[in-house]
Amino acid sequence: MQKKLKAAVLGPGNIGIDLMLKLLRSPYHEVALVSGIDPQSEGLKIAASKGIPISLEGIDGVLAVKDLDIVFDATGAKPHLKHAPLLKEAGLFTVDLTPAAVGPYVVPAVNLDQHLNSAMNVNLITCGGQATIPIVYGVSRVTEVEYAEIVATISSRSAGPGTRKNIDEFTQTTRQGLISVGGAKDAKAIIILNPAEPPILMRNTIYAKCDTRRIDDIVKSVNEIVAVVQRYVPGYRLKVPPYADGERVVAMIEVTGAGDYLPTYSGNLDIITAAAVAVGERYAQFKQKAVF
């Protein structure tokens, strides 16, 4: 039987709680610690109720555990800028769920294996990036994408304090991910918090300026990449399949969450925690020198 990696979740907010619950099901990880700084944290209470060791020392609590294998940072962009060098110095492989963009960008459906044996810190960009970059990549591997623009719309109910504090980082990091991972020459990212009741599902509209004469090949490529994303995010689907609109291709993605912690309309939460688990499990395979 494979040896599980000892994992710590740093930041027991909405994302951290959802991630913790997913990691508890993973055959590759043992959740050895959940660390935060708020004594009233719901995440710490849930972790303790499940018998998981907790700490109120934040990053110091993580660094105090000597036999960890992997750390998932679910705090915020500014805190992670402080955490990253400390985790690197401690020799801990870190999956960054914030838009801090310290390490190389990783989207499991696109470049999962590229950095796992060379980087100590990998960045999951943003929820909008995880949802839309695969589509832009699906277009760019068929034909050059001159410009990509994405509009990520999420329920305001699913946007916690961390999301709201990181709006600027979201737009900047998502844009860069659309270029460096998605393959667009230039890009723009927009996020909309929709207060509608009942809450809407996460929806992402993608526009790609390209040679639309190759629309049939683009549709095939995008469908293939959607199938890859669905392996780790079952609620990911094409709401509007790619179609040609003048000099651009337009598509829409909808994400239904798994409902591990928050309601299923929080697909923005689900897609980034599911991506984190996918990265963590692949790292475990690398570390254990598994054949795959």
Give tens-digit pLDDT for 183-221: 999 999 999 999 999 999 999 999 999 999 999 999 999
- Cross-strand pairs, 94: 71, 121
Q: Residues for the chain: how many in total?
A: 292
CB 58 within 8 Å of CB 10: yes
Give the pLDDT score at 211. Answer: 98
Cβ count near 42 (within 10 Å): 15
Give the pLDDT score at 164. Answer: 85
Confidence tier at 262 by pLDDT (50, 70, 90)? confident
Contacts of 243 (CB under 8 A, 6+ apart): 215, 249, 250, 251
User: C-alpha distances in angstroms, 135 versus 94, 115, 225?
Assistant: 26, 21, 7
Q: For CA atoms 100, 102, 103, 104, give the dihedral sign.
A: positive
> Of 16, 267, 18, which is closest to residue 153 (Cα–Cα)?
267
Query: Which amino acids are annotated as binding site, given as ranges?
Result: 158-166, 268
Would the CATH topology of 5-124+271-290 be identical to that of 127-265?
A: no
pLDDT at 290 over 60: no
Angle, vertex CA 131, rays to CA 277 and CA 214, nearest 5: 130
Q: Which amino acid is at 188?
A: K
Domain ranges within the chain, ordered by starting residue = 5-124+271-290, 127-265
Give the pLDDT score at 288. Answer: 81
Q: Which CATH architecture has domain 127-265?
A: 2-Layer Sandwich (3.30)
The torsion angles phi and psi of 241, rounded to 5 degrees, stand at -65, 155
> Of 191, 217, 209, which is closest to residue 138 (Cα–Cα)?
217
Q: Which amino acid is at 53?
A: P
CB 251 within 8 Å of CB 241: yes
In CATH terms, the superfamily for domain 5-124+271-290 is NAD(P)-binding Rossmann-like Domain (3.40.50.720)
Angle, vertex CA 66, rays to CA 64 and CA 67, nearest 5: 140
Query: Which amino acids are annotated as binding site for NAD(+), given as ranges?
Result: 158-166, 268
> Of 267, 282, 238, which is closest to residue 134 (Cα–Cα)?
238
pLDDT tens digits, 85-126: 999 999 999 999 999 999 999 999 999 999 988 899 999 999
pLDDT at 2 over 80: no
Reading the block at residue 220, the tokens are 């095939």
Span 163-173, mean pLDDT?
Answer: 87
Reading the block at residue 102, the tokens are 């310290």
Residues marked active site are found at 127
The average confidence (pLDDT) of the chain is: 95
Distance (Å, whole) CA 159 – CA 157? 6
Distance (Å, whole) CA 272 – CA 160? 14
- Cross-strand pairs, 189: 150
> Of 69, 6, 29, which is closest to residue 278 (Cα–Cα)?
29
> Of 233, 258, 132, which is closest to residue 191 (Cα–Cα)?
132
Distance (Å, whole) CA 126 – CA 181? 13
